Amino acid sequence: MTSRYEAKVYDMLSEGPVTAGEVAKKIGVTHKTALRILMHLALTRKDVMYRNSGRIHIFWRMSYVEDV
């Protein structure tokens, strides 16, 4: 089951690296909700990556180039 914000957040990731705070401000949810959406995307989609730097989690979307 996907959340109602998942597609919008997934599109935001293609614009560049984001934090949960930035996502929360753009879609109008709490920081905790945004972090849960981002972590769900990172765990369920192969092209969404994250790294934490102390208390800050940074999420981004990788674009794969397939070798033909």
28 assigned to some structural domain: yes
CATH value at residue 21: 1.10.10.10
22 assigned to some structural domain: yes
8 — phi, psi (to 5°)?
A: -65, -45
**For 23-65, how does the pLDDT look when each residue is reduced to its tens digit (9 = 90+)?**
999 999 999 999 999 999 999 999 999 999 888 999 999 975 4
68 assigned to some structural domain: no
1 assigned to some structural domain: no
Confidence of residue 4 (pLDDT cuts 50, 70, 90): confident
If one counts the domains in the chain, the total is 1
52 assigned to some structural domain: yes
> Looking at residues 12-20, what average pLDDT do you find?
93
48 assigned to some structural domain: yes
More confident residue, 43 or 68: 43
- Domain extent for 52: 6-61
43 assigned to some structural domain: yes
